[in-house]
Amino acid sequence: MATVLILMGSTSDWPTMQAAARMLEDFGVSWEARVVSAHRTPDLLAATMAEAEQGDTRVIIAGAGGAAHLPGMLAAFTCLPVFGVPVASKQLKGLDSLLSIVQMPKGVAVGTLAVGEAGAANAGLLAAQVIGTTDSQVQNKVREFRSKQREAVLANSKLELDS
Protein backbone atom coordinates (compact mmCIF):
# COMPACT_ATOMS: atom_id res chain seq x y z
CA MET A 1 0.00 0.00 0.00
CA ALA A 2 1.21 3.53 -0.75
CA THR A 3 2.41 6.18 1.70
CA VAL A 4 -0.87 8.10 1.35
CA LEU A 5 -4.18 6.35 0.87
CA ILE A 6 -6.89 8.40 -0.85
CA LEU A 7 -10.31 6.97 -0.12
CA MET A 8 -13.70 8.06 -1.36
CA GLY A 9 -17.23 6.83 -0.95
CA SER A 10 -17.95 6.67 -4.68
CA THR A 11 -16.23 7.02 -8.03
CA SER A 12 -18.22 10.24 -8.48
CA ASP A 13 -15.91 11.79 -5.85
CA TRP A 14 -12.79 11.21 -8.00
CA PRO A 15 -13.01 14.46 -10.03
CA THR A 16 -12.61 16.33 -6.73
CA MET A 17 -10.17 13.95 -5.04
CA GLN A 18 -7.72 13.74 -7.92
CA ALA A 19 -6.53 17.21 -6.88
CA ALA A 20 -5.00 15.52 -3.81
CA ALA A 21 -3.34 12.90 -6.01
CA ARG A 22 -1.87 15.57 -8.32
CA MET A 23 -0.46 17.47 -5.33
CA LEU A 24 1.11 14.30 -3.92
CA GLU A 25 2.65 13.48 -7.31
CA ASP A 26 4.17 16.96 -7.45
CA PHE A 27 5.91 16.25 -4.14
CA GLY A 28 7.00 12.74 -5.10
CA VAL A 29 4.79 11.07 -2.49
CA SER A 30 3.36 7.66 -3.38
CA TRP A 31 -0.40 7.37 -3.22
CA GLU A 32 -3.16 4.91 -3.95
CA ALA A 33 -6.85 5.66 -4.47
CA ARG A 34 -9.71 3.35 -3.60
CA VAL A 35 -13.49 3.44 -3.28
CA VAL A 36 -14.73 2.38 0.14
CA SER A 37 -18.27 3.21 1.19
CA ALA A 38 -18.94 3.77 4.89
CA HIS A 39 -22.57 2.74 4.37
CA ARG A 40 -22.40 0.08 1.66
CA THR A 41 -19.11 -1.67 2.45
CA PRO A 42 -18.37 -1.27 6.17
CA ASP A 43 -16.46 -4.56 6.29
CA LEU A 44 -14.21 -3.39 3.46
CA LEU A 45 -13.66 -0.13 5.34
CA ALA A 46 -12.47 -1.99 8.45
CA ALA A 47 -10.26 -4.33 6.40
CA THR A 48 -8.75 -1.40 4.49
CA MET A 49 -7.80 0.36 7.73
CA ALA A 50 -6.27 -2.82 9.15
CA GLU A 51 -4.22 -3.20 5.97
CA ALA A 52 -3.15 0.46 6.09
CA GLU A 53 -1.98 0.17 9.70
CA GLN A 54 0.09 -2.93 8.90
CA GLY A 55 1.69 -1.42 5.80
CA ASP A 56 3.62 1.72 4.90
CA THR A 57 0.63 4.06 4.90
CA ARG A 58 1.30 7.23 6.91
CA VAL A 59 -1.73 9.41 6.07
CA ILE A 60 -5.33 8.84 4.97
CA ILE A 61 -7.16 11.38 2.83
CA ALA A 62 -10.89 10.73 2.68
CA GLY A 63 -13.39 12.49 0.45
CA ALA A 64 -17.10 12.20 0.97
CA GLY A 65 -20.26 14.03 -0.01
CA GLY A 66 -23.75 14.18 1.41
CA ALA A 67 -23.90 12.40 4.76
CA ALA A 68 -20.08 12.21 4.53
CA HIS A 69 -19.51 9.60 7.21
CA LEU A 70 -16.44 8.06 5.56
CA PRO A 71 -13.67 10.21 7.14
CA GLY A 72 -15.07 9.78 10.65
CA MET A 73 -15.58 6.04 10.27
CA LEU A 74 -12.02 5.65 8.96
CA ALA A 75 -10.68 7.64 11.92
CA ALA A 76 -12.56 5.31 14.27
CA PHE A 77 -10.58 2.36 12.85
CA THR A 78 -7.06 3.83 12.82
CA CYS A 79 -4.53 5.90 14.70
CA LEU A 80 -3.13 7.22 11.39
CA PRO A 81 -3.93 10.86 10.62
CA VAL A 82 -7.14 11.23 8.62
CA PHE A 83 -7.81 14.34 6.55
CA GLY A 84 -11.41 14.77 5.46
CA VAL A 85 -12.39 16.51 2.24
CA PRO A 86 -16.03 17.54 1.92
CA VAL A 87 -17.16 16.85 -1.64
CA ALA A 88 -19.74 19.29 -2.98
CA SER A 89 -23.21 17.80 -3.16
CA LYS A 90 -25.98 18.78 -5.56
CA GLN A 91 -28.46 19.61 -2.84
CA LEU A 92 -26.45 21.76 -0.43
CA LYS A 93 -23.23 22.48 -2.38
CA GLY A 94 -21.08 20.64 0.17
CA LEU A 95 -22.27 22.42 3.31
CA ASP A 96 -23.87 19.16 4.46
CA SER A 97 -20.60 17.31 3.82
CA LEU A 98 -18.55 19.95 5.63
CA LEU A 99 -20.73 19.91 8.72
CA SER A 100 -20.80 16.12 8.82
CA ILE A 101 -17.01 15.83 8.63
CA VAL A 102 -16.09 18.71 10.92
CA GLN A 103 -18.46 17.73 13.76
CA MET A 104 -16.50 14.78 15.13
CA PRO A 105 -16.96 13.70 18.73
CA LYS A 106 -14.13 14.34 21.17
CA GLY A 107 -11.57 11.56 20.92
CA VAL A 108 -11.99 10.75 17.21
CA ALA A 109 -10.08 13.35 15.22
CA VAL A 110 -10.46 14.20 11.54
CA GLY A 111 -8.59 17.16 10.09
CA THR A 112 -11.22 18.81 7.94
CA LEU A 113 -10.31 20.76 4.81
CA ALA A 114 -12.30 23.11 2.58
CA VAL A 115 -15.16 21.94 0.39
CA GLY A 116 -14.18 20.73 -3.07
CA GLU A 117 -11.07 20.74 -5.17
CA ALA A 118 -9.19 23.34 -3.09
CA GLY A 119 -9.74 21.19 0.00
CA ALA A 120 -8.53 18.09 -1.82
CA ALA A 121 -5.40 19.87 -3.05
CA ASN A 122 -4.69 21.19 0.45
CA ALA A 123 -5.21 17.69 1.87
CA GLY A 124 -2.49 16.50 -0.50
CA LEU A 125 -0.25 19.38 0.59
CA LEU A 126 -0.89 18.69 4.26
CA ALA A 127 -0.16 14.99 3.77
CA ALA A 128 3.14 15.91 2.07
CA GLN A 129 3.98 18.16 5.01
CA VAL A 130 3.37 15.26 7.41
CA ILE A 131 5.56 12.97 5.29
CA GLY A 132 8.15 15.76 5.14
CA THR A 133 8.66 15.62 8.90
CA THR A 134 10.70 12.45 8.32
CA ASP A 135 11.60 12.74 4.62
CA SER A 136 13.89 15.66 3.80
CA GLN A 137 13.36 15.31 0.03
CA VAL A 138 9.62 15.79 0.40
CA GLN A 139 10.15 18.64 2.86
CA ASN A 140 12.46 20.39 0.37
CA LYS A 141 9.84 20.02 -2.37
CA VAL A 142 7.25 21.59 -0.08
CA ARG A 143 9.66 24.48 0.62
CA GLU A 144 10.20 24.95 -3.14
CA PHE A 145 6.43 24.95 -3.70
CA ARG A 146 5.96 27.63 -1.05
CA SER A 147 8.81 29.69 -2.50
CA LYS A 148 7.28 29.56 -5.99
CA GLN A 149 3.92 30.65 -4.59
CA ARG A 150 5.54 33.59 -2.81
CA GLU A 151 7.47 34.60 -5.95
CA ALA A 152 4.29 34.48 -8.05
CA VAL A 153 2.51 36.82 -5.66
CA LEU A 154 5.45 39.22 -5.46
CA ALA A 155 5.77 39.30 -9.25
CA ASN A 156 2.17 40.50 -9.47
CA SER A 157 2.07 42.66 -6.35
CA LYS A 158 1.99 46.06 -8.05
CA LEU A 159 -1.25 46.94 -9.74
CA GLU A 160 -1.75 50.01 -11.85
CA LEU A 161 -5.02 51.79 -12.40
CA ASP A 162 -6.36 51.89 -15.93
CA SER A 163 -6.68 55.42 -17.30
Tell me: is residue 146 an annotated ligand-binding position: no
Cα distances from 110 to residues 33, 69, 104, in angstroms, run 18, 11, 7
Listed in order, strand segments (DSSP E) in 37-110 are 59-65, 82-87
Tell me: is residue 40 an annotated ligand-binding position: yes
Are 36 and 48 within 8 A, CB to CB?
yes
Strand order in the sheet with 4-8: 31-35, 4-8, 59-65, 82-87, 111-112
Report the C-alpha gap between 80 and 96 in whole angstroms: 25
Tell me: is residue 30 an annotated ligand-binding position: no
Report the C-alpha gap between 102 and 149 in whole angstroms: 28
Report the C-alpha gap between 132 and 162 in whole angstroms: 44
Q: Could you count the other beta carbons within 10 Å of the beta carbon of residue 71?
A: 31
What residue numbers does the annotated binding site for substrate cover? 10, 13, 40
What residue numbers does the annotated binding site cover? 10, 13, 40
